[in-house]
Structure 1
Amino acid sequence: MLNNFQKIAGVAALCEALIYITLFVLYGTVLAMPAGLDSAQKLGFLESHHNLLFFSNLLGYVVFGILLAVLVLALHERLKNGANTLSQLAAIFGVLWVGLVITSGMLANIGLNAVLKLSLTEPEQTRALWLNVTTMTEALGGGNEIVGGLWVLLISCAGLKAKVLAEKLHYFGIAVGVTGIATYYPAAGLTELFGISQIIWFGFLGVAMLRRHQD
């Protein structure tokens, strides 16, 4: 039963990487808002891409968070015998990250619907509402990755201590975690760097967890 759950978690990790890739493609192409748009044009962009934006929020936040919950529990179960304290601390931040990510997704989609509805009756207030929604979403889970970075950092340190899975994976995870924590500083490119490095880390982790033999 435990081995099956570890395999499920391995698949979840690979799915996390695929979600990141999908979102990078979407926001780099069809969901990339053109520069120089005025408020009315931005609203028109949101309206014309409403369904795709809803899907991207659902996938990138809610589905991602559900899969993350599986992974957080599986890694804690795998590491607790060799690094119990670190594993427990990592699990705390992992669960917190799950909550923040899912909350961000629900807020983003409910906020998007509210903005489009308000634009029909009070268009002058739409910009302020959308600014509030995006600010709250970014603050909770999109604009900085401190909580996620702490989880990756702690789980990687626990893996090194417990001598579970490959050392290279954990050393890379430490670098990924530090990058996530650094996103608190508003420097251009740090969030994107964390996302790209997490694609590699989730992929590496998923393959490692799907290996037939147990460490």
Structure 2
Amino acid sequence: MNNLQKFGGIAALLEATIYVSAFVFFGAFWNYPTDADSVQKFAFLAENQITLSIVNLIMYVLFGIFLAVLVLAINERLKNITPALSQIAAIFGVVWVGLVIASGMIANIGLSTVLQLSIADPDHAMTVWQAIYAVVEGLGGGNEVVGGVWVLLLSFAALKSNEFSNKLNYFGIFVGTIGIITVYPADVLTEIFGISQIVWFLWLGLKMLAEPDKQEDISNEN
């Protein structure tokens, strides 16, 4: 097994870890005062700015970096048998990388900007923050269409290439389909996609670490 496949497997496991950490953080530790007024909300954000900025960096930017490694590793593994399908999948994977990283950068710069605005006009700053939040959600939080297309296409490519396992690939088709359906704005769909993708990342990572690249083995034998 070459180093790229090993790095890809590790990256997939780290992706799942980041997903779980984000669920735990926002579910158990993040007590944003949704019913408070603008002044109280910004006081909370100012008090927790460093923590939220670090979480955004991990949840978006670091996730995107690991995702780039995984996209490259999977494309390398599938491209010999399904060049067209795997390359189209890789394009969507790369686009998803860019969207996720951009989301994190916009979230952190936007947070810093609105905290400065809130000193003079909290209500106006809240309007700006809601607009920024909508952009972040549209790019990489509440809409998982691009990621869903990537998972769906690479799962079809893996089925055709006889890579990984049929159970994993069919599960990937399910995950990808849910991701595409999140074009409909419903929190439950995003949550299903997130939870199912945790399982998919873990399963995929273990497969990549446990099973060598079949095409590489064939090339080495020749």
Alignment of 1:121-200 (within 5 A): 121-200=120-199
Task: Identify the residue that residue 53 of structure 1 maps to in structure 2.
Answer: 52
Q: Deviations for 1:178-206, whole angstroms, at most 9, x for unmatched residues?
A: 00001111123111110000100000000
Aligned residue pairs total 214
Query: Given residue 190 of structure 1, which amino acid in structure 2 is its aligned partner?
Result: L
Structure 1: which 4+ aligned runs deviate by more than 4 Å?
A: none
Using the TM superposition, give the Cα deviation of residue 124 of structure 1 relative to its aligned residue in structure 2, in angstroms.
3.5
Cα distance in 1 between the residues matched to 2:122 and 2:38: 10
Task: Identify the residue that residue 75 of structure 2 maps to in structure 1.
Answer: 76
Percent identical residues: 55
Cα distance in 1 between the residues matched to 2:31 and 2:122: 23
Cα distance in 2 between the residues matched to 1:41 and 1:189: 29
TM-score normalised according to structure 2 size? 0.93
Query: Given residue 194 of structure 2, which amino acid in structure 1 is its aligned partner?
Result: G
Alpha-carbon contact 2:42-2:122 (below 8 Å) kept? no
Q: Which range is displaced more, 111-120 or 17-26?
A: 111-120
Cα distance in 2 between the residues matched to 1:32 and 1:41: 12
2:88 is aligned with 1:89: yes
* Unpaired stretches in structure 1, ≥5 consecutive residues: none
Task: Identify the residue that residue 8 of structure 1 maps to in structure 2.
Answer: 7
Using the TM superposition, give the Cα deviation of residue 167 of structure 1 relative to its aligned residue in structure 2, in angstroms.
1.0
Q: Please tell me the root mean square deviation across aligned C-alpha atoms, in Å.
A: 1.2
Q: Deviations for 1:123-157, whole angstroms, at most 9, x for unmatched residues?
A: 33211110111011111111110000000000100
Using the TM superposition, give the Cα deviation of residue 114 of structure 1 relative to its aligned residue in structure 2, in angstroms.
0.5
Q: Deviations for 1:38-93, whole angstroms, at most 9, x for unmatched residues?
A: 22221122112111110111001000000000000110000011111110110010
Using the TM superposition, give the Cα deviation of residue 23 of structure 1 relative to its aligned residue in structure 2, in angstroms.
0.3
TM-score normalised according to structure 1 size? 0.96
Question: CA 1:212–1:151 in 2, change beyond 3 Å: closer, same or farther?
Answer: closer
Q: Deviations for 1:164-188, whole angstroms, at most 9, x for unmatched residues?
A: 1111110000000000001111123
Cα distance in 2 between the residues matched to 1:196 and 1:126: 33
Alpha-carbon contact 1:10-1:210 (below 8 Å) kept? yes
Q: Which range is displaced more, 69-78 or 23-32?
A: 23-32
Secondary structure of the residue aligned to 1:99 is helix
Query: Given residue 194 of structure 1, which amino acid in structure 2 is its aligned partner?
Result: F
Alpha-carbon contact 2:16-2:202 (below 8 Å) kept? yes
Query: Given residue 196 of structure 2, which amino acid in structure 1 is its aligned partner?
Result: S
